[in-house]
Amino acid sequence: MTRKYLLEISVDGVEKAVAAERGGAGRIELCADLSVGGLTPSRELLRGVRERVHIPLYSMIRPRAGNFVYYESEFSAMERSIAVAAESGMDGVVLGALKKDRRVDILRTRRLVDLARPLPVTFHRAFDETPDLKRALEAVIQTGAARILTSAGTKTALQGAARLAELVAAARDRILILPGAGITSANLPEVVQKTGAIEFHSGLGTLLPYSTHDYAAFESEVRKLAKQLSSLS
């Protein structure tokens, strides 16, 4: 059976977004400051990328670096950022919230998911900080999120491939598992084969510094990933 794979690329600027689209990305995760895992991009960046890029754009909704346990003021900022993302023409948002015990904050996350509708929500790698991934999977499903970006609690998606496969199997058709972390053209075929996932996320941070202005090199690496997925479909 032929499978249709999708490549998501995380970027933190207009030119990198354009390069990702030219390279064959199917979707972009738009952030500020990828060096700390990605923060909420400005309204100006959202609109600037939307004007230049035609593939789906998902905005990160993360008010600060560090943990994912948020004060009420930070949660309110996330709510406002979701509204800005919708107004700026985004196709989805990326977010996550945990309780102090590092379990998924179901109620707060569900509030954000409901606020974002009809835009789909990706629950980001806060998931990897939870103490029990299988319980966290069920919790995220309860929030109404559409997918989970995860390396299954390991440093890279390849290292977590076996656990990712378990999550894919457990998720079934209830939510989509999006493997990410350390994915490059050197290991993507193995990640695809071992996980059984159909969407894959890369920021190419292990190959190029996040601060790079070598957009031709960035486009080239995205193209390698896209071609590999196309050949495996």
pLDDT tens digits, one per residue of 75-114: 999 999 999 999 999 999 999 999 999 999 999 999 999 9
203-232 pLDDT per residue, tens: 998 888 888 889 999 999 999 999 999 999
Fold of 6-225: TIM Barrel (3.20.20)
Determine how β-strand 27-30 pairs with β-strand 92-95: unpaired
1 — pLDDT class (breaks 50, 70, 90): very low
User: Is pLDDT of 3 > 80?
Assistant: no
Higher pLDDT: 6 or 233? It is 6
Tell me, what's the pLDDT at 129?
97
Tell me, what's the pLDDT at 2?
61
Percent of the residues in the chain that have a pLDDT greater than 90, as a whole number: 94
Tell me, what's the pLDDT at 211?
84
**Alpha-carbon torsion 163, 165, 169, 175, what sign?**
positive
Tell me, what's the pLDDT at 33?
94
Tell me, what's the pLDDT at 209?
84
Q: b/e map of 80-95 (b: 16 or more CB within 10 Å)? A: ebbebbbebebbbbbb
Tell me, what's the pLDDT at 184?
96
**Alpha-carbon torsion 84, 90, 92, 97, what sign?**
negative
User: Is pLDDT of 135 > 50?
Assistant: yes
User: Is pLDDT of 31 > 90?
Assistant: yes
User: Is pLDDT of 41 > 70?
Assistant: yes
Across residues 180-186, what is the average pLDDT? 96
Tell me, what's the pLDDT at 94?
98
**At how many degrees (to 10) do helices 161-171 and 188-195 cross?**
40
Residue with tokens 């003021």: 73
Percent of the residues in the chain that have a pLDDT greater than 70, as a whole number: 99
167 — pLDDT class (breaks 50, 70, 90): very high
Tell me, what's the pLDDT at 80?
98
